[in-house]
Amino acid sequence: MPDDLRADIAAAHEKLSEPAPAPATEAPAPVGVDTPTEPTPSEGLAPQPAVGGRERDEQGRFVPKDTAKPAVQEKAPPRAPGPATAGQGGVTEPVSVPPVLSDLKPPQSWKPAAREKWGKLERDVQEEILRREKDQKAFEMETAEPRKEWKAFKETIAPYEHMIRASGLTPHQAVGNLLQRYAALQMAPLPVRAQIIAQLQRDFIGSDESAIGLLASALEGSGKQAPAQQGFSPEQIRAMVQEQLRAERAQSEQQATAAMVQQFEASEPEFLHDVEEEMAGLIGVERQRNPGKAWTLERLKGIYDKACLLNESVSSTLKQREAAKAAKNAQASTERARNASSSVQSRPAGGVATPAGDGSIRADLEAAYAAMQRR
């Protein structure tokens, strides 16, 4: 070995044998001042892919299994808060379901043609109309008795109203004066009564001698007894009894008929208010044709149906309903026929069964050819 080569090897060996110098300590960076850091040689290098299921570090060396870091799992994005459901610790809020409202019926006082348009009105409009109808019925019930009494009063004074008007008084004033005079004749002192009678004598009989004589004759004849009433013959008594029995029987039939009519009205026929006149006429005809026959709901129902046919407005409404129902049934029948025709599946002619195969075209052709050969 040459001496120069030997000297170089000895120098290299001595250099390797010397201890490594201690690293110089860096001075601490001042507070508040960012110290730039230089990237290490390992930074910026892409990690090596794993080979055989083992990972490598930045320098390409295998990483021990016990020190291998698990892969970082991405966190799932937080779920948006939603309504709490039962069984998840939340309180479920009750869901308000609007109540199902029943259909309202139109007022019976309306004409049939108007009642046909009832369903096109809004719910609040229907409720307002029914409220007004209810108030009107309540008012009619409250004033039924006063109106009845006023009608009787008008009928009582009707024959004498022209005399009352001629005197310059109203019917109320005339009746009031008569009542006051009658009360005075009943309760006033005798001198007052005498003055009232004297005034009536002057106004209606006169104050002359003949008029006073007539009054005296009337006063003398008022004390005599009336002649005794003659008795009735047996025929007259029998006729009176029969008349009384007929009257009681007629009254009983009227009461039974009225009770049956009220029961029929309780079923609320739709057009009863419109055909009252027709029903009254038909009931009178039935009573004449079949006297004494008991009234039933079926009999009244038949009369009601006839009355609906006799009333022009009700009959027209019923015909329109029948036409609309027939058109709807025809449309439904056509729709069913169309659905039935569309659901019919086409089948091969001649009754040839569909060949069975594994689903491929070749298998189907082979099966069909085999079926034809068998034939």
- Domain co-membership, 202 together with 142: yes
pTM of the model: 0.36
Neighbour-count burial for 331-366, b at 16+ CB within 10 Å, e otherwise:
eeeeeeeeeeeeeeeeeeeeeeeeeeeeeeeeeeee
Q: Is residue 206 part of a domain?
A: yes
- Domain co-membership, 253 together with 323: yes
Q: Is residue 223 part of a domain?
A: no
Q: Is residue 254 part of a domain?
A: yes
- Tell me the per-residue pLDDT of 215-245, one tens digit each, with 9 for 90 and over: 888 888 754 544 444 456 777 777 777 777 7
Domain count, the chain: 2
What is the per-residue pLDDT for 226? 44
On average, the pLDDT of the chain sits at 74
Q: Which residue, chain included where needed, has tokens 């001629």?
A: 166
Q: Is residue 70 part of a domain?
A: no
Is 136 a residue whose pLDDT tops 80? yes
Q: Is residue 226 part of a domain?
A: no
Percent of the chain whose pLDDT exceeds 70:
70
Is 32 a residue whose pLDDT tops 50? no
- Mean pLDDT along residues 179-203: 87
Neighbours of 303 (CB within 10 A): 21
Structure tokens at 120: 């096109």
CA–CA dist 169, 156 (Å, integer): 16
- Tell me the per-residue pLDDT of 285-305, one tens digit each, with 9 for 90 and over: 887 888 777 778 888 888 889
Neighbours of 55 (CB within 10 A): 16
Q: Is residue 102 part of a domain?
A: no
Q: Is residue 253 part of a domain?
A: yes
Q: Which residue has the higher pLDDT, 146 or 83?
A: 146
- Domain co-membership, 204 together with 249: no
Q: Is residue 166 part of a domain?
A: yes
Q: Which domain holds residue 267?
A: 244-334
Three-class SS state of 56: strand
- Domain co-membership, 271 together with 323: yes
- Domain co-membership, 181 together with 249: no
CA–CA dist 29, 111 (Å, integer): 103
